Amino acid sequence: MNWNRQRVLVTGADGFIGSHLTETLVKRGAKVRAFTCYNSFNSWGWLDSLDKETLSAIDVFSGDVRDPNGVAQATEGVEIVFHLAALIGIPFSYHSPDSYVDTNIKGTLNVLQAARRYDVKKLIHTSTSEVYGTAQKVPIAEDHPVNPQSPYAATKAAADQLALSFFRSFDLPVAVLRPFNTFGPRQSARAIIPTIVSQLYSDAPAIQLGGLNSTRDFNFVGNTVEAFLRLAETPGTEGDVYNSGSGKEITIGDLAEKISRITGVNKPIATDPQRLRPAKSEVERLLCDASKIRQVCSWQDPVGLDEGLEITCRWIREHLESFKTEIYNV
């Protein structure tokens, strides 16, 4: 697909992956409307960190994905929608699950209704590997049972099914991308890699972590952005789910050791009880089978874990003031 002059809406454009996707679309010539979360500080999240030339090319729309009126207004006139807006923190979903239902399920419904109303050409809905729960078989392909183990994951699973139902019921051209653990610059300390790196670079005497034995499949944010674009570009992907991930797993303990080697900073690891998830909620193993998106969409993920970590560590060191390293970021 030639992105030049394509009219695109990105919800959650102010977030980690959304800001990278928005930036890439602008560089490829798309006319991007960036849906950001309205707030009284007039903050556009990570979009505020983009260079002035890139930011000036973006049509920023501040709204609330939970409100159908603003969502409809933002969707009018666009051809392709990338829906990334969501509440993502798992621990926060333990004590505020209603907000996840409102944002992740009702918000997705609003996006689907608006896309249907304005007859968009394609909608890419963002899922998460968390909907699979602990791996029952590996690697995890798209036919793996969906078994969410947290309120967050449950709302994402519900949103996925809602999106697919709009394809089946109304022929809405929607495809679902299910990224495994994405990492890179601009990610908050609510994710494990920024948590480790920011504590290494801080004055803290030790790295405070939860469980060390669970495994994750980490993929650099640039690779994930390419998965979004390839899925949108490829005909015939509507009505289906596609995983994106590296196909490699690493324990949290081994990840911390790898990051220590990359940064050249060594600190002991301490177990922080408040970071431990309830036993039945902890996803013990995630390992992606991304063969489907590779075959159907010719997707590639050229940036490996080590290279991605080097890029991410440099960025976090340069932006350490953005991280509250002295607290547990829920």
Confidence of residue 84 (pLDDT cuts 50, 70, 90): very high
Confidence of residue 324 (pLDDT cuts 50, 70, 90): confident
Letter string b/e over residues 270-292, b meaning 16 or more CB atoms within 10 A of that residue's CB:
eeeeebebeeebbbebbbbbbeb
pLDDT at 8 over 90: yes
Identify the pLDDT of residue 202: 94
pLDDT at 269 over 90: yes
pLDDT at 325 over 90: no
Confidence of residue 304 (pLDDT cuts 50, 70, 90): very high
- Mean pLDDT to the nearest integer, 4-20: 98
Report how far apart, in Å, the C-alpha atoms of 150 and of each of 155, 238, 275 are.
Answer: 9, 28, 15
Instruction: Pick 325 or 323 by higher pLDDT.
Output: 323
What are the chain's domains? Answer: 7-253+256-322 (3.40.50.720)
Q: Which of 296, 169, 190, 304 is nearest to 239 (CA)?
A: 169
Number of Cβ atoms within 10 Å of the Cβ of 174 = 28
Q: What percent of the chain clears pLDDT 90, i.e. is strictly above it? A: 94
Per DSSP, helices labelled H in the chain are 16-27, 52-56, 68-75, 90-95, 97-100, 107-117, 151-170, 192-201, 221-233, 252-263, 291-297, 305-318
Question: pLDDT digits over 122-163, tens only?
Answer: 999 999 999 999 999 999 999 999 999 999 999 999 999 999
In contact, 262 and 306? CB cutoff 8 Å: yes
- How many residues make up the chain in this entry? 330
Cα(173)–Cα(160) distance, integer angstroms: 14
- Mean pLDDT to the nearest integer, 60-89: 98
| Residue 4 in tokens | 């030049």
3-state secondary structure of 264: coil
- Mean pLDDT to the nearest integer, 175-185: 98
- Mean pLDDT to the nearest integer, 79-101: 97
Phi then psi dihedrals of residue 52, to 5 deg: -60, -35
Q: Which of 194, 92, 183 is nearest to 129 (CA)?
A: 183
- Mean pLDDT to the nearest integer, 19-45: 98
In contact, 56 and 32? CB cutoff 8 Å: no
Identify the pLDDT of residue 329: 81
Confidence of residue 1 (pLDDT cuts 50, 70, 90): confident
The reported pTM is: 0.97
Across the chain, what does the average pLDDT equal?
Answer: 97
pLDDT at 326 over 90: no
If 0-12 CB within 10 Å is exposed, 13-18 middle and 19+ buried, where does residue 264 land?
exposed
Identify the pLDDT of residue 288: 98
Q: Which of 23, 26, 20, 21 is nearest to 6 (CA)?
A: 26
Cα(72)–Cα(58) distance, integer angstroms: 18
pLDDT at 9 over 90: yes
Question: pLDDT digits over 217-245, tens only?
Answer: 999 999 999 999 999 999 999 999 999 99
Identify the pLDDT of residue 32: 98
pLDDT at 307 over 90: yes
